[in-house]
Amino acid sequence: MHIEPGIVDGAKIVLSYATAAAAFGLAGKLAVDTIRRDGGISALTLRSVVTTALVFCFFEVLPHFSVGVSEVHFILGSTLYLIFGAGPAAIGLAGGLLLQGLLFAPADLPQYFVNITTLIVPLWAVSLLARRIIPADTPYVEVTYWQALALSTAYQGGIVAWVAFWAFYGQGFGSANVMAVTSFGGAYMLVIILEPLADLAVLAAAKALAPLSKSGLLYNRLHHPAT
């Protein structure tokens, strides 16, 4: 989902500063929710360090390839949400993306605010959807394939929608740009298919981590009903 350099440039990139400010505001709210309801500042800090490292590895280690107007990555946003919670996941996405840009892809830094909007706003939507489709008495280690698919589809679909918005906003609706956006969206179907399987595999492994549920490392909802 790293939108290609030059897709949004010049005066148009100013819009990304406003959307990113809103995205950072959402991330801040999610972080405050973690502090208030799920372990305090220490838990938020610990999980955020872990999620930042994981996101950095997702971008640099997992397979990724350029398609059309952007790059296809296995970001595993819904997985991060289920294991660590929305606040740490949002911080990890922002931090991991920044580290990757600073250390390995400085050409992506001018698009940082474009990309951060694309990553965080769909995560916020996933946090809202999870409340609606997963019963309060169901720990996340017990989610079904269809629930995981819904969360993954919401996250990846949100990414595709934002990438399409930025591409059309930056380059217009010419046939070449429409084809580039369509090819990117089609390629992301692979992620939508595979991510729920990754979610379930990670959640199955997480059942063995129940002794860590009081350590602050893991989202309390992972092993316990909502409180």
Q: Which of 53-62, 67-76, 87-96, 154-163 has the lowest mean pLDDT?
A: 67-76
- The DSSP result for 145-209, as a single string, is HHHHHHHHHHHHHHHHHHHHHHHHHHH-S-HHHHHHHHHHHHHTHHHHHHHHHHHHHHHHHHGGG
The CATH classification number of 10-223 equals: 1.10.1760.20
For the question of whether the overall pTM of this predicted structure is more than 0.75, the answer is yes
Digit-coded pLDDT (tens) for 99-140: 999 999 898 899 999 999 999 999 999 999 999 999 999 999
**In degrees, to the nearest 5, what angle opens at C-alpha 203 toward C-alphas 63 and 36?**
105
Digit-coded pLDDT (tens) for 53-67: 999 999 988 888 888
Q: Measuring CA to CA, which residue among 128, 23, 117 is closest to residue 78?
A: 128
How do the domains of the chain map onto residue ranges? 10-223
